Amino acid sequence: MDDIEIPESHPRYESLLTRHRIEAGVEAGITSRQGLIAQGRGEAYDYLLGEETIPSADDAARAAAAHLLAADHAVLSVNGNVAALVPGEIVDLAAATGADIEVNLFNRTDERMRAIVEHLQDHGAEDVKGLTADGRIPGLDHERAKVDADGIGAADVVLVPLEDGDRAEALAEMGKTELVIDLNPLSRSAQAATVPIVDNIIRAVPNVTAHARELADASDAELAQIRDDFDAEAALEAAEDRIRSGGD
Ligand code: ATP
């Protein structure tokens, strides 16, 4: 999955690179064809947000870093789009926060699970969960409910980027602290999140990692303050305002 040659000066460099990565993900059996549609939806919102990390999304990334650092057991959930777009960045975030990585698919097939686990390992991941699938998220049908009992099943904090709304809601109902990355502030996933990061995953994951590195020596009290100060509803409103006003 080598990146094609796109000159960095191209005005739509990031967008073209992203498309290419998703396309290559589909070809490699990592991303489902439905992932192409999800990417298209995301791109439209990114365009309206100005293709940049807005201040409220940066605050959310900092709050997410504080949650991950303070967690007893944090898990980063990886689906086919996440694996295609930010495999190395997810491995860096896991290293910066001590979180586990778990592959968790809406359209689960053994083949795709294995392809994603291998892809993450190629990017430096050591232990990737998800293949055991001995736990269940209550309230979802069998295939969509599968998780590892000692992974997402036992986690107190879960990062679920680009998640389907039903599963995001079901995870939140389990009492987990849910950190969501989703460009659509109106999606059910973003609405269900303790911390919704309304930003492109390409920018958001490295940004959470940068905040986590900066907060590595923060005290428990400082981390708690950052978590408490974050207002999810205000962050969603700020993103929606930005989309509606086009940055005015
Ligand atoms: P809902 O949560 O409202 O039920 P959905 O489950 O139908 O939405 P999908 O079509 O599965 O959502 O798409 C997943 C979400 O991921 C969309 O809201 C889309 O905006 C978002 N998304 C897609 N690509 C990216 C990206 N690169 N970065 C961040 N978010 C993205």
Q: What is the pLDDT of residues 187-234, one digit of tens each?
A: 999 999 999 999 999 999 999 999 999 999 999 999 999 999 999 999
Asked whether 31 lines ligand 1 (CB < 6 A), one says no
Residue 40's pLDDT is 93
Asked whether 187 lines ligand 1 (CB < 6 A), one says yes
Residue 11's pLDDT is 74
Q: Are 78 and 101 in contact (CB under 8 A)?
A: yes
Helix runs in 79-231, H state only: 80-85, 87-97, 110-122, 142-145, 165-173, 188-192, 201-214, 220-229
Low-confidence ranges of the chain (pLDDT < 70): 1-4, 247-248
Asked whether 77 lines ligand 1 (CB < 6 A), one says no
Here the tokens at position 67 are 């949650």
Residue 5's pLDDT is 73
Pocket test for ligand 1, best of 183, 202, 240 (most atoms within 8 A of CB): 183
Asked whether 184 lines ligand 1 (CB < 6 A), one says yes
Residue 3's pLDDT is 54
Q: How far apart are CA 3 and CA 121, in angstroms?
A: 18
Asked whether 160 lines ligand 1 (CB < 6 A), one says no
Q: For 161, phi and psi rounded to 5 degrees?
A: -80, 145
Q: How far apart are CA 153 and CA 146, in angstroms?
A: 9
**100 Cβ neighbours under 8 A, 6+ residues apart:** 73, 74, 75, 76, 94, 127, 129, 151, 155
Asked whether 162 lines ligand 1 (CB < 6 A), one says yes
Residue 114's pLDDT is 96
Asked whether 165 lines ligand 1 (CB < 6 A), one says yes
Q: How far apart are CA 194 and CA 122, in angstroms?
A: 32
CATH number for the 55-244 domain, one of 3.40.50.300, 3.40.50.12640, 3.40.605.10, 2.40.160.60? Answer: 3.40.50.12640
Residue 125's pLDDT is 97
Q: Whose CA is nearest to atom 23 of ligand 1?
A: 42
What is this structure's pTM? 0.94
Q: Whose CA is nearest to atom 18 of ligand 1?
A: 184
Residue 8's pLDDT is 80
Residue 144's pLDDT is 85
Residue 23's pLDDT is 94
Q: How far apart are CA 25 and CA 76, in angstroms?
A: 19
